[in-house]
Each structure stands twice: as C-alpha cells, then as structure tokens.
Structure 1
Amino acid sequence: MSPQRSEALRPAHPDAFFSGGIRFGFPSGQVVVTEIHDKGDLALPTGSLIAADPTGLIFPEEFEAFTQTVPAGRYPLRLSVARFSDDPGHVRVCAAVLVVQQVPTVRWEQALLPGQDPAKLGEGEFFGFGVDGGVGCLLDASLLDHFAAVLDDREDGTTGWVELVSGDGPGLHIAGTRTATLPGPAGEPSLTAFESGFGDGAYPVWFGRDDNGQVTTVVVDFLVLAGAERLDSITASGGAELDVRRDVSDRG
C-alpha cells in the first residue's frame, strides 16, 4: 500500500456513495447517473479490516489490517455504480460501501496501515491498496489465512481465485453490478469481491465518522468520479456528507 497521486485527500463526491439518481458529467462530455445496489451483509468477527485484490490473497504475508477498526458484527454492503447515459449497458463501480451506522457522516479519514503517516503525504497523495486483477474485496483480518487457502490451487487442478472471478461460465463472474461472496468458516458471508472501477491501479479506502467520532461507514473508493462535475443541485440525503466539494478536475 503505497502513496499515489489523487485529486483530493478526501472523497471527491461522497454523496454519490449513498444516493442514486445523481448526474455527473466528465470533461469528455459523457454523463453518468449513480445507482445504489444492495449486496447483502458482510460478517466481521473482529472488526479488523483488510481491503485487497482477492487474486493476491494467496500470499497472506503481504497483507495487513488497517489501524482503524469497526465493532465486530454483520453489516450491509452496497455498491455505488455509475451508469453511462449514452450506453445504459455500461456501468462502473464507483465504490463499495460498508454501512456501519445509519447516521450522517460529517468527516472522512484515510484508512491507514501500521507505520503510515498522512502528515508525510505530498499535496494530492493518498495511501492506496493495489489492484492487479480488476477486482477488490473486503474481509475481516482474522479470516486472512482461511481465504488464502480457499483461493489457492486445489488438488483437482482448479484455482480458487480463478473460480471466484470467472465462475462456471465463459464470461466474468464479477462485473458491473455483479459481485461474488464467499462464506467464512462459520458459513457467514465473509468476503465480497467487486469490480474495481476502471480496472487495475491503486485505490484509497475511507472511514467516515459521525459527530461523536464513531465510524459510520467504510468506503472502498475506485475514483470513478474524481474528474467529474456534479450536474444536479446538491441535497442532503441518506447519511451523505453535507459539505460536498465541487470537483471539476480531469483524471486524464
């Protein structure tokens, strides 16, 4: 998890994590509309979180949990996606959103690994986790070794992570609004994998907090809207942050 350049040290459009029907325009002239898709629950036995590319979990020694935690429990997971108005079949995952509390988020902070100091970041930098297989996931750190074994090679010659991504058909099992969830040792939904925005890269994770400093949400942000301009008037709804920054910079 290394520093990468970003347009902001906070989400560009955090209201899009929570609300569908918001229109955004890109410098190219393309327009997208946000949608929110419920993806069931995610069970967290300890509340210690890892965000990762699941195709790399077969090397568990390379992963650490964030220093921030959430209370152990089972929480709804949602996808925020952007659907392109000129091609309704084209959607991109903006973010995976773990809903810890149904209360407004008033501030955001970067997810950090041990030893990472945000004060040492340059202007526009962030700490991001790497994606090399076009997918990301969330899981409890206590289950890292379990899923490393599940996703590794098997005696029958198949590979767990290939099956996770591709399923039984010729196409991708995880694409657009389609996700895949794996059970933990107790049978609860414990790893959910989702498509990573526009593909491979490094992506930030955000912890949202309420007025009392308690975690409200954990967001895996794929930066899809980082270069977009909001076309609708801003209204507060569904726990979205009230002070939304207008970002019209180009992602390139």
Structure 2
Amino acid sequence: MSNLLLELAKPEGGMLRPEMLEQLTIVSGEIVACDPLISHSNPFEQTIQPGTYSVVAWWHEEEERIAAAELKLSDGRPIRWEMAVRPGQNVNELKDGSIYGYPVDTGLGCFADVEAIHKLEEMEARLQRELGDDFISLYDNLIDDVLSEHEDNWGSVIVCENTGLNVVMFSSGYGDGFYASYWGFDADDNVVCLLTDFNVLM
C-alpha cells in the first residue's frame, strides 16, 4: 500500500486536507482517469451507477499541492484498496513496484465519464474548425481560462449542456509523471470511491 493510502486510512487525520472541488456527472457508468489533454479514453473495467458525484482534492498541508484526487461514490469509509485496471490488465502480472496508471504530460489529471472525454475531443475539433489559424491548442483556447478561475489548481469543463456532462481536472502533484488510481472498498465490500495518487507522499 502506498504512503498516501496509509495516510488516508488514519482515523485521526494527518498531513492531508480535503477540498470539495465540483460535482461530476456520470451517464454511462464508465469512468476515465487521464491527462485530459492527451487522448486516453479507455475506461476502467469497474463501472459505477450513473449519477452525480463529488470530486475531492487532497492537499498536502506543507507542500500546498494536490497529493491525490478522489471521486466520492458514497459516504462510506474505505478500509481497503484495489488498483484500478482497464480491460486486459491484471495486477497479478505486475512486477514488484510496478503499477497500472496513466501518463501526464501537461501537469493535469482528470475524472470523467468516457462519453465526456469523447465530447471533449469533439470540442477540440470544433474549435479548430471555427477558429482556424487563431486556434493554438485546447489548453490555450479553453482550458487555461477554466483553470485560471481556481488559481490554476483545478477546473470543470461542461462538454454537453443538455446532459450536464463535464470533465473535472486538477493539477497532478509535482506535475508530469505516471499515476495509479485505486478503488476504495468499505467494510461491506462496496465501492465507495476512486482515488488517483500523485506520488507526493513517497
């Protein structure tokens, strides 16, 4: 178990401070965690019920950076963790110290419904068509303004007004890297959260 997961297991609290960021709308039940500016739309094998869920940032008090991001599925307390995998991945085949996760090249991670990621890709293509030579990148033409509303720490992009589908993104610890996500289970073996560890607590 990573140091971060051990820290979250402390009932008396520790060096991490939670902050509720935004509600995430899920319509398909298929969850993606990725760098939102890189096309990695393969969802996790585990699915959840459609609905609206809170995204929480866990801040390292001393470092003042996001050490982890959590998608809260219920009020239950996780007592054990399983690495989140995509179809075809098997944690029993991992070498010691290896993880399944996602690469970050832009200093951002996110949670989203798989359909929201597809919509984000469509939004980028539409901006390219509409702006022509004035289009620089999805970050420069859209994401930067969204993040600036929250001191570049996080932001939520609505990708479908009709359904409320959105992508909630957040700064990824120290920045670029390769990060694993974990499903949290309560005492009754129910999935209560999905958490991405940004390796701030090593």
- Class of the TM-score when normalised by the shorter of the 2 chains: 0.7 to 0.9
Structure 1 equivalent of residue 178 of structure 2:
202
Aligned residue pairs total 196
Structure 1 equivalent of residue 25 of structure 2:
43
- The answer to whether 1:12 aligns with 2:3 is yes
Q: Which has the larger radius of gyration?
A: 1
The one-letter code sitting in structure 2 at the alignment partner of 1:81 is: W
Structural mapping, 1:1-252, within 5 Å: 10-14=1-5, 16-17=7-8, 22-23=13-14, 33-57=15-39, 62-84=40-62, 91-152=64-125, 153-154=127-128, 155-156=130-131, 157-158=134-135, 159-167=137-145, 173=148, 178-185=153-160, 186=162, 188=164, 190-226=166-202
| Deviation, structure 1 residue 187 | 5.2
Structure 2: where are the runs of 5+ without partners?
none
- Is the 1:137–1:193 Cα contact (8 Å) retained in structure 2? yes
Q: CA RMSD in A?
A: 2.6
| Deviation, structure 1 residue 189 | 5.3
| Deviation, structure 1 residue 174 | 7.9
The one-letter code sitting in structure 2 at the alignment partner of 1:50 is: V
Separation in 1, partners of 2:78, 2:67: 18
The one-letter code sitting in structure 2 at the alignment partner of 1:214 is: N
Q: Using a 3 Å threshold, how does the CA distance of structure 1 residues 129 and 66 change in structure 2: closer, same or farther?
A: same
- Is the 2:34–2:104 Cα contact (8 Å) retained in structure 1? yes
Q: Residue 71 of structure 1 aligns to a residue in which SS? A: coil
Normalising by structure 1, what TM-score?
0.70
- Is the 2:4–2:197 Cα contact (8 Å) retained in structure 1? no
Separation in 1, partners of 2:100, 2:92: 11
Quote the sequence identity (%). 24
- Is the 1:78–1:96 Cα contact (8 Å) retained in structure 2? yes
Separation in 1, partners of 2:33, 2:122: 17
The one-letter code sitting in structure 1 at the alignment partner of 2:60 is: A
- Is the 1:108–1:208 Cα contact (8 Å) retained in structure 2? yes
Deviations 1:87-108 (A, max 9, x none): xxx5211111111011121211
Higher helix share: 2
- Is the 2:9–2:79 Cα contact (8 Å) retained in structure 1? no
Deviations 1:191-250 (A, max 9, x none): 111001011010000001123322100001101112xxxxxxxxxxxxxxxxxxxxxxxx
- Is the 2:101–2:180 Cα contact (8 Å) retained in structure 1? yes
Q: Using a 3 Å threshold, how does the CA distance of structure 1 residues 43 and 178 change in structure 2: closer, same or farther?
A: same
| Deviation, structure 1 residue 160 | 2.6
